[in-house]
Amino acid sequence: MYKNFGLIGKSLKHSFSKIFFENLFLDLHLENKYKYHLIEIDTPIDLPNLISLYKPLIGLNVTIPYKQQIISQLDFIDYQAAKIGAVNCIHFTQEGSKGYNTDIYGFEKTLEALPHRPLQVLIIGSGGAACSVAFVLQKLNIPFVIVYRKELPPVFSTYSYLTNTYLFQDFPAPYLNQFDTIINATPIGMYPNIDELPPLLYDHLLPSQQIVDLIYNPDETYLLRLARSKGCFTINGLTMFRHQAALSWDIWNRNI
């Protein structure tokens, strides 16, 4: 009988998770014992039903749009995940289900790959990934501003290093060049919608700026391609993905 792992989300065409974990299973000679599933869900998540379908279910990754919705169905939540209100990793044990946020660690590793420590950051987005980014910046005492499309989760009101918030339509275009680091934490531009980018006026980008896109498929989004043409340093979400996935594996193996 296989031990099961998987990723749940609404659309998973962009995901490298199955490839990552299947290669990991091969490297560890576990391909005949473990399986990793892509589980697309377009209705509210029924966690007990998922558990019954994939017995024995050891662990799940969680992606858009369920990082916040899944919390109410878990038995326990790690402190950091509870603090930011977003879970992207679940471990099932005899004691019950516990949620974690491995995006925090993944983003910390992404910051280490930048040429310099950010001084003033613009976060694009207000979803689960943006919550993780804000948590790390707050911990590092780095001021940040958020520009968003729909709504701002209550967790952002707890961050003293959040200096301002804007809806996309209210963001003053020249203000873009006041940030040494800009981070896209939305799925805008992700495969298959590769010709999209967040609605800001990028004519104001400067070569001195660092542009981070947490999307990793495609490996160079429209945003990163545009930023590179302006002379900016650019980095995609592959570093974050690899580190958060590796941490998920460590979490799941605590009780295997």
Cα–Cα distance between 83 and 79 in angstroms, integer?
6
Which of the following is catalytic: 55, 67, 109, 139? 67
Distances (CA, A) of 23 to 6, 218, 229: 14, 20, 34
pLDDT in tens, 200-216: 989 899 999 999 999 99
Are 3-101+240-252 and 104-237 the same fold in CATH? yes
Cβ–Cβ < 8 Å for 127, 156: no
Whether the pLDDT of residue 68 is over 80: the answer is yes
Q: For 161-199, what is each residue's pLDDT tens digit?
A: 999 999 999 999 889 999 999 999 999 999 999 999 999
Per-residue model confidence as pLDDT tens digits over 142-152: 999 999 998 88
What is the residue-averaged pLDDT of the chain? 94
What tokens appear for 139 in the block? Answer: 């911990």
User: Could you say which architecture CATH assigns to the domain 104-237?
Assistant: 3-Layer(aba) Sandwich (3.40)
| The residue type at 218 | P
- Nearest 5°: the CA angle 223, 226, 228 is 105
Residue 6: pLDDT over 90: yes
Nearest to 201 by CA among 224, 220, 177, 221: 177
Rounded to an integer, what distance in angstroms lies between the CA atom of residue 47 and that of residue 143?
37
The proportion of the chain whose per-residue pLDDT surpasses 90, expressed as a percent, equals 85
Rounded Cα–Cα distance for residues 140 and 231 (Å): 27
- Mark 186-202 as b/e (b = at least 16 C-beta within 10 Å): bbbbbbeebeebbebeb
Q: What is the Cα–Cα distance from 68 to 62, expressed in whole angstroms?
A: 9
pTM above 0.75, yes or no: yes
Dmax (CA) for the chain in angstroms is 59
Annotation says 67 is catalytic = yes
> Cα(108)–Cα(242) distance, rounded to whole angstroms?
12
Distance, C-alpha 29 to centroid of its chain: 29
Strand-pair category, 121-124 with 144-148:
parallel
User: What would be the CATH architecture of the domain defined by 3-101+240-252?
Assistant: 3-Layer(aba) Sandwich (3.40)
Domain boundaries, the chain: 3-101+240-252, 104-237
**Total H helices, total E strands in the chain:** 7, 12
Residue 46's pLDDT band (cuts 50, 70, 90): confident
Give the residue from 97, 67, 70 showing the smallest Cα distance to 214: 67
Token look-up 């780095």 returns 142
pLDDT band for 255, please (50, 70, 90 cuts).
low
Asked if residues 123 and 200 have their Cβ atoms less than 8 Å apart, the reply is no
Half-sphere exposure of 190 (CA within 13 A, CB side): 18
